[in-house]
Structure 1
Amino acid sequence: MQAADYQQLQHDISLPRLSSYQHFFQPDEPKALYGYYCWNEAISSAFFRLIGIVEITLRNKIHRALSQHYHNGQSNGSKLSNDWYNFLDLNAHSEKKILTVTHRFKKGKWHPKQPALSHDDVISRMTYGFWPKVLDIRQDKQGCAVPWGKIIPNVIPHHRQKSEGYWKKIKHQDILYARLELIGSLRNRIAHFEPIWKQGDLFEENRERQNKKPKLIRPAPSNAAEAMERLILLHSRAQELLGWLSRTQLKSYQHSYIYRQLNWLLSQDGMNIYIRQHSQKQLSPTAFKRQFTSIIRQQHTVSIVKNSKISGVFYPSTS
């Protein structure tokens, strides 16, 4: 593209929106400024795929664990999927979220939907923010305490801590809550089209309560290297949470194209491709095989082209 094209792109995106990129990265030309913007968009897209996997796995694990616990004596549903949410003392906001899915508001009253939604349909319509708040439920509607010490190990069966005694303690539940909120905050930033590299201070994974504040671990990133370091940390923590929930899901993710792409994007080589607006090297399958040793040595990113179409992309290892 010509210089005028990059000027027009800045105008279309809007200078106020790009001002944070200009201030933080301080690029010396419009092409590089637009490159940082595209780099952010690519990272956000890849991260959102991972967060989607975490969200689906998390809600299903919580739903299954609570259905299993409230199957006997309280809920008439299946042990694998029932209406546990109707038996817990949800806060008003969460209660309304459930109600707006299961009922219709007509003539000043709530009426159950007919036909009724399945329990799986109900929980699938809860947004990510609903799930961390579930950990705040202290009792059911009969006044009995929710035994989180027994339930949490079924939600995150692959966490290193598996005992009821560990998870019944609020301070340990708070650490898990902080991890869920970290991923939720990242999800919201992407969903609202905010720069994903723009992160605040990093605190220990804990929850602010009366007379207790999480300790500051490191200040907000102040340059591109620190921003990339923080994103790598977030990627690691999202994977760790997914592994706690399901080793199979984590394994599947780490064998995916998205995993390889995100690792590449969070490397200097990946960033430079966008900043400099360089095209990836394109080779035919035959040429790729012939030059493979050189490509590995020089850590090139290569698009493999067959019949004028990209059939695959090779990303060098970033480990």
Structure 2
Amino acid sequence: MPKNILYRPTLIDELITNERLDSYSPIFQHSNDVELVGAYLWNIQVCSALYPLLTAAEVTLRNSINTALTNDLGRFWWRRNTLHYKSFTPGGTEPFAVRAIVSNFSKAADQVRRDKRSRYNIRNARPTHHEIIAKTEFSTWEFILDTEFMAPNLIWPTNLGLVFKGEWPTSSASRMLSSTKDLVKTIREFRNRVSHHEPVWKKFGVRSELEAINHLHEKINKIMQLIKLISPEKEQLVIKNGILSKAQRVCSLNELRHCQHALESKKVKSVTKLCKLASQVSIDNKTEKITLYKHGKTKLLIHPI
């Protein structure tokens, strides 16, 4: 049982560290080290549940932009002599967004070469268009939404409706580009926290468990907003395969209590009660801890798939 684990000194003081748990202690209710560490483990589960949602957003954005720009400008559309920008002057300094895109694609191509050399012993590999696209950093797709590329005969607004096929929040292409770039930036920064298993519930002004959980649901809503903006069909794929509902279920007070081993166990002594409980679990999208009395006592967790 988790309550029989010796949490101090090694587990908390050295392997998790008090510095990390100090950020959890004032926010999450706990009466002992089991429940404090449980809040820390809950954050790990939250990261795990959010990652598929974030991946769906990143890959959908990346592929939608790449498809539109490839059809417009051809393969390797990011090359300097192909991807034009508004403030270009011969011999002038490139703006930050342009330099960042060039750098990101160069790093992506180098990474393809390194991978082929280390995995397959292929020397002097020539990365393909799609291999490079797959290795790009998320920031690439934020920079490409810069206003430097918004002008007649540039990629925006020509391709904006081809990339973002959902319902726009505005009829103005320039406002659409600006707001979407801000949305992508917010999601990218959150994705970086999730990827490093940082306390993803943290935000300035969060002072309680409920505020932490509300913050997570705000992020989930923004991720879904981006996916729906790009493709309502991809939104439905995420929903109908349970990716969204799992993220929503894990980002809950109930799941936090489960990780803290503070979830009350419900006694189940009949198949009828078990069926009713299972149905309610599905409706409420929550985890329930049960003790099943049939040929002795069996402890189980039930939750929707």
Matched residue, 1:155:
163
Q: For 1:69-88, what aligned pairs fall within 5 Å after superposition? A: 69-70=72-73, 77=74, 82-86=75-79, 87-88=82-83
| Structure number with higher helix proportion | 2
Q: For 1:79-158, what aligned pairs fall within 5 Å after superposition? A: 82-86=75-79, 87-89=82-84, 91-102=98-109, 114-136=124-146, 138-139=148-149, 145-158=153-166
* Cα pair 1:83 1:119 within 8 Å, conserved: yes
TM-score (norm 2): 0.75
* Cα pair 1:302 1:315 within 8 Å, conserved: no
Q: Tell me, yes or no, if structure 1 residue 17 matches structure 2 residue 24.
A: no
Matching residue's letter, 2:202 = K
Structure 2 Cα separation of the partners of residues 280 and 56 of structure 1: 40
Structure 1 Cα separation of the partners of residues 271 and 162 of structure 2: 47
Same amino acid, percent of matched pairs: 21
Structure 2 Cα separation of the partners of residues 121 and 4 of structure 1: 47
* Cα pair 2:145 2:177 within 8 Å, conserved: yes
Once the 2 structures are TM-superposed, how far is the Cα of residue 197 of structure 1 from its aligned partner?
0.4
Q: Tell me, yes or no, if structure 1 residue 236 matches structure 2 residue 221.
A: yes
* Cα pair 1:31 1:277 within 8 Å, conserved: no
CA pair 289-155 structure 1, distance change in 2 beyond 3 A: farther
Once the 2 structures are TM-superposed, how far is the Cα of residue 138 of structure 1 from its aligned partner?
2.1
Structure 2 Cα separation of the partners of residues 139 and 173 of structure 1: 10
* Cα pair 1:137 1:146 within 8 Å, conserved: no
Structure 2 Cα separation of the partners of residues 5 and 282 of structure 1: 29
TM-score (norm 1): 0.72
Q: 2:195 aligns with which of 191, 207, 218?
A: 191
Q: Tell me, yes or no, if structure 1 residue 176 matches structure 2 residue 184.
A: no
Matching residue's letter, 2:207 = S
CA pair 36-54 structure 1, distance change in 2 beyond 3 A: same
Structure 2 Cα separation of the partners of residues 230 and 53 of structure 1: 20
Give structure 1 stretches of 5+ with no counterpart. Answer: 71-76, 105-112, 201-219, 306-310
Structure 1 Cα separation of the partners of residues 214 and 126 of structure 2: 48
Q: 1:33 aligns with which of 28, 32, 36?
A: 36
In the TM superposition, what whole-angstrom CA distance separates every residue of 1:110-135 from its partner, at most 9, and x where no partner exists?
A: xxx95422211111110111110011
Aligned length: 267
* Cα pair 2:69 2:77 within 8 Å, conserved: yes
Q: For 1:49-88, what aligned pairs fall within 5 Å after superposition? A: 49-70=52-73, 77=74, 82-86=75-79, 87-88=82-83
Once the 2 structures are TM-superposed, how far is the Cα of residue 187 of structure 1 from its aligned partner?
0.5
CA pair 273-98 structure 1, distance change in 2 beyond 3 A: same
Matched residue, 1:315:
304
In the TM superposition, what whole-angstrom CA distance separates every residue of 1:153-191 from its partner, at most 9, and x where no partner exists?
A: 11111133586xx21x2x432211111011101101112
- The residue matched to 1:197 in structure 2 has which SS? coil
Structure 2 Cα separation of the partners of residues 54 and 161 of structure 1: 18
In the TM superposition, what whole-angstrom CA distance separates every residue of 1:136-159 from its partner, at most 9, and x where no partner exists?
A: 26259xx97524122111111113
Structure 2 Cα separation of the partners of residues 103 and 295 of structure 1: 51
